[in-house]
């Protein structure tokens, strides 16, 4: 430890005795044990980010090259987890044995999961899985009838199901009994309007208690909810309604953000939506409905008793969307078995227990909205919902006052918090873990997040809509390294492939089927072509394409390196380059466009860079062009897709078959900015 470091640590609040103790620990202990001792004996380290970061860099000088643990579970904590309880119950040796058993004996594992989660079956299954039609077409729970909504309401009806606070409002609570009654009224109302089992009904509104009840009511009635993000432009709403053949849509008149009303119902009208059931935000403006539409009050009947519709396990409950590399977004049906994956990942990897309060700023348009509903309710937890923006101090005060135990986030939000320091000084002592998903994380941002709650772990969680959860994550029984993963999710097995299709330690993820949650069909694309065509086999078994680039390190950690195809995660939403380019080409200044996602220096959420070939007679300054292009994205796609930089280029690099080589552009950009 040199003089500069000693001076820095002194400035950050450490005494000479504490610094001497750190030097002694560093000289006498391996790095991980040294770090554990420092965090346990110097409390200031856990809450002072600058000190935490400085010492982390001191103890793990190679952290940029190899992930290093910033949090290590105590024996007491490990023994209290759902994972350890299961390991002991099953008579297994350790977590590694549990993981191997979960994918090697997957049939017995998923039966065990259903027993632990108390999944309700109206008619029992004859077996767990039938793969006689091949690995691409597994039939889970053949012979069974079920409605997964029943598994959300097996807990004490007086327990709290939802805690909610509107922006600038006060906290309210909804019990399991009240949520069940409201969802029953929704189901009865749908039946009274002659909706039939299998009908698709859209939801385009923010996450509120009514939104959750609507979602569950649709499922109870045997229908399928169509997930639409409330930030989408009319064109994108119309696309999703068309693909899913929507029979109706639930929406809201306005969304209030920072005291500003943002029209939502008008966007639904512009999308030429079918019958709309419109909720009104408190203190909202007066709005005139189309003659065919209904207010929430007109729609809702009084009957709060409903016998759920019994369905085949593979009947659709939810139609979600995820971008492909070209054309319309992929329409991915979730069925009655998919929520078992959501709840399993929450039970094991997020250690959700009855009564835990789980917050994740999201909505039903992104898979984490439906995921949060099932992850919380099937496990007997409480969903914490906030009606305002998660980048404000008010959101942090809600997390504090609601006594949230588990907080999930998109990394971009953490980056915003760090830039504004808006969450500092709050009491987040009830948080036992964070979770991060949707984008690649930045190490220092995640260390900052940990420091906001006294150095609590961040469970990285990476998967997709077509998985119903994650294929890779972390646990509370393993050390946690910032922006790194520790394990495949239980019940999942994957490998990485190089460009020749051979196993490697850094390459494209390929998932080994079967596993509950993996999609079985697509509404508007060929499922085989998207996930299995031209994939290699492993020991005679066809692998499933995923598209993430993952690196596995010698010390066991994994790190996500983005996508290998032309899709990207922006603001936690998957979008294709082609969709962005189509939107930007509406500009009369552009001849050609190429959109690429680049990883910022030091890692973290992807940044959107646009390469432009201008029209010869209409080239304008970039300072003028960038806001024009951003306006097009805001109006026609999604305002969450922020352009980082626009670059003029004489011509786009193309293959012999005239396809744009976006990887070349990405590499050019990353090379140009290297110091």
**563-578: per-residue pLDDT in tens?**
777 777 787 777 778 7
User: Is the pLDDT assigned to residue 121 strictly greater than 90?
Assistant: yes
User: Is the pLDDT assigned to residue 541 strictly greater than 90?
Assistant: no
User: Is the pLDDT assigned to residue 454 strictly greater than 50?
Assistant: yes
Model confidence at 19, in pLDDT bands (50, 70, 90)? very high
Q: For residue range 53-66, list pLDDT tens digits in order.
A: 999 999 999 988 89
Q: Using an 8 Å Cβ cutoff, are 186 and 297 in contact?
A: no
What's the pLDDT score for residue 675? Answer: 55
User: Is the pLDDT assigned to residue 661 strictly greater than 80?
Assistant: no
Across 278-292, 368-382, 406-420, least confident range: 278-292
Q: What is the mean pLDDT of residues 76-94?
A: 98
Model confidence at 129, in pLDDT bands (50, 70, 90)? very high
Distance CA(163)–CA(382), nearest Å, equals: 7
User: Is the pLDDT assigned to residue 191 strictly greater than 80?
Assistant: yes
Q: For residue range 22-65, list pLDDT tens digits in order.
A: 999 999 999 999 999 999 999 999 999 999 999 999 999 998 88
What's the pLDDT score for residue 655? Answer: 56
What fold characterizes domain 107-473?
A: Rossmann fold (3.40.50)
Sorted by where each begins, the domain ranges of the chain are 3-59, 107-473, 493-560, 567-672
Q: Quick check: helix, strand or coil at residue 1?
A: coil
What's the pLDDT score for residue 1? Answer: 78
3-state DSSP of 375-411 = HHHCCCCEEEEECCCCCCHHHHHHHHHCCCCEEEECH
Model confidence at 549, in pLDDT bands (50, 70, 90)? confident
Q: What is the mean pLDDT of residues 576-585?
A: 81
Please provide the average confidence, as pLDDT, over all residues in the chain.
93
Q: What is the mean pLDDT of residues 247-262?
A: 90
Non-local CB neighbours of 325 within 8 Å, separated by 6+ positions: 565, 566, 567, 576, 577, 578
38 by Cβ neighbours in 10 Å (0-12 / 13-18 / 19+) ranks as buried
Please tell me what DSSP assigns to residue 148.
G
**% of the chain surpassing 70 pLDDT:** 97
pTM for the whole structure: 0.88
Q: Quick check: helix, strand or coil at residue 583?
A: helix
Non-local CB neighbours of 127 within 8 Å, separated by 6+ positions: 107, 141, 142, 143
Non-local CB neighbours of 421 within 8 Å, separated by 6+ positions: none
Q: Residues 515, 337, 473, CA angle at the centre, nearest 5°?
A: 50
What's the pLDDT score for residue 433? Answer: 98
Question: What token pair was written down for 551?
Answer: 């690196």
Tokens 């999604």 belong to 638
Q: For domain 567-672, which CATH number applies: 3.30.565.10, 3.30.1370.100, 3.30.300.30, 3.10.20.30?
A: 3.30.300.30
Residue with more model confidence, 530 or 588:
530
The strand pairing partners of 459, in sequence order, are 435
Model confidence at 120, in pLDDT bands (50, 70, 90)? very high
Q: What is the mean pLDDT of residues 457-486?
A: 97
What's the pLDDT score for residue 657? Answer: 47
Q: For residue range 358-374, list pLDDT tens digits in order.
A: 999 999 999 999 999 99
User: Is the pLDDT assigned to residue 584 strictly greater than 80?
Assistant: yes
**% of the chain surpassing 90 pLDDT:** 77
Model confidence at 505, in pLDDT bands (50, 70, 90)? very high
Consecutive H or E run containing 567: strand 567-570
Model confidence at 197, in pLDDT bands (50, 70, 90)? very high
Q: Quick check: helix, strand or coil at residue 106?
A: helix
What's the pLDDT score for residue 260? Answer: 83
């Amino acid at each position: 430890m040199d003089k500069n470091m000693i001076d820095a640590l002194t400035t950050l609040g450490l005494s000479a005795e504490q610094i001497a103790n750190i030097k002694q620990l560093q000289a006498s202990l391996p790095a991980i044990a040294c770090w554990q001792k420092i965090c346990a004996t110097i409390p200031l380290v856990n809450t002072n980010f600058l000190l935490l970061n400085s010492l982390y860099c001191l103890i793990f000088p190679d952290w940029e090259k190899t992930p290093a643990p910033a949090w290590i579970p105590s024996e007491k904590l490990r023994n209290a987890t759902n994972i350890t309880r299961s390991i002991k119950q099953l008579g297994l040796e350790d977590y590694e044995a549990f993981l191997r058993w979960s994918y090697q004996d997957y049939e017995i594992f998923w039966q065990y999961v259903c027993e632990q989660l108390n999944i309700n079956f109206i008619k029992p299954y004859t077996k767990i899985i039938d793969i006689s039609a091949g690995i691409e077409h597994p039939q889970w729970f053949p012979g069974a009838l079920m409605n997964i909504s029943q598994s959300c309401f097996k807990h004490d009806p007086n327990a709290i199901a939802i805690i909610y606070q509107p922006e600038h409002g006060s906290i309210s609570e909804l019990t399991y009994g009240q949520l069940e009654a409201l969802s029953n009224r929704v189901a009865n109302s749908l039946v009274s309007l002659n909706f039939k089992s299998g009908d698709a009904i859209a939801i385009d509104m923010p996450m509120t208690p009514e939104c959750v009840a609507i979602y569950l009511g649709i499922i109870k009635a045997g229908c399928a909810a169509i997930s639409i993000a409330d930030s989408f432009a009319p064109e994108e709403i119309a696309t999703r309604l068309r693909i899913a053949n929507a029979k109706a849509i639930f929406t809201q008149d306005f969304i209030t953000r920072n005291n500003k009303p943002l029209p939502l119902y008008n966007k639904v009208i512009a999308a030429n939506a079918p019958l709309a059931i419109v909720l009104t935000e408190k203190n909202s403006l007066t709005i005139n409905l189309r003659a065919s539409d209904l207010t929430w009050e007109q729609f809702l009947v009084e009957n709060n008793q409903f016998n759920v519709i019994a369905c085949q396990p593979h009947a659709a409950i939810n139609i979600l969307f995820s971008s492909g590399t070209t054309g319309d977004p992929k329409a991915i049906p979730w069925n009655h078995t998919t929520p078992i994956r959501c709840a399993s990942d929450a039970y094991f990897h997020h250690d959700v227990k009855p009564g835990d309060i789980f917050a994740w700023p999201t909505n039903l348009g992104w898979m984490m909205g439906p995921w949060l509903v099932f992850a919380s309710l099937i496990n007997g937890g409480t969903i914490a919902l906030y009606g305002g923006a998660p980048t404000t101090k008010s959101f942090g005060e809600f997390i504090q006052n609601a006594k949230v135990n588990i907080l999930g986030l998109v990394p971009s939000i953490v980056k915003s918090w760090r830039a504004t320091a808006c969450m500092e000084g709050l009491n987040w002592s009830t948080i036992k873990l964070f979770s991060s998903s949707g984008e690649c994380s930045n190490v220092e941002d995640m260390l900052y997040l940990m420091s906001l709650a006294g150095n609590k772990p961040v469970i990285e969680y990476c998967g997709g809509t077509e998985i119903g959860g994650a294929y890779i994550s972390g646990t509370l029984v393993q050390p946690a390294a910032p922006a790194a993963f520790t394990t495949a999710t239980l019940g999942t097995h994957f490998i990485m492939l190089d460009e020749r299709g051979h196993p490697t330690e850094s390459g494209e993820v390929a998932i080994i089927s079967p596993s509950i949650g993996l999609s079985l069909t697509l509404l508007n694309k060929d499922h085989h072509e998207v996930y299995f065509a031209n994939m290699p086999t492993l020991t005679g078994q066809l692998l499933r394409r995923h598209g993430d680039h993952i690196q596995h390190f010698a010390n066991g950690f994994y790190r996500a390196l983005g996508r290998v195809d032309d899709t990207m995660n922006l603001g936690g939403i998957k979008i294709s380059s082609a969709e962005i380019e189509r939107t930007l080409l509406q500009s009369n200044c552009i001849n050609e466009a190429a959109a690429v996602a680049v990883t910022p220096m030091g890692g973290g959420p992807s940044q959107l860079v646009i390469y432009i070939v201008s029209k010869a007679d209409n080239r304008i300054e970039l300072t003028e062009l960038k806001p024009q292009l951003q306006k097009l994205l805001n109006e026609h796609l999604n305002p969450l897709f922020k352009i980082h930089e626009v670059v003029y280029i004489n011509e786009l690099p193309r293959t012999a078959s005239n396809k744009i080589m976006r990887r070349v552009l990405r590499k050019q950009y990353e090379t140009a900015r290297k110091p």
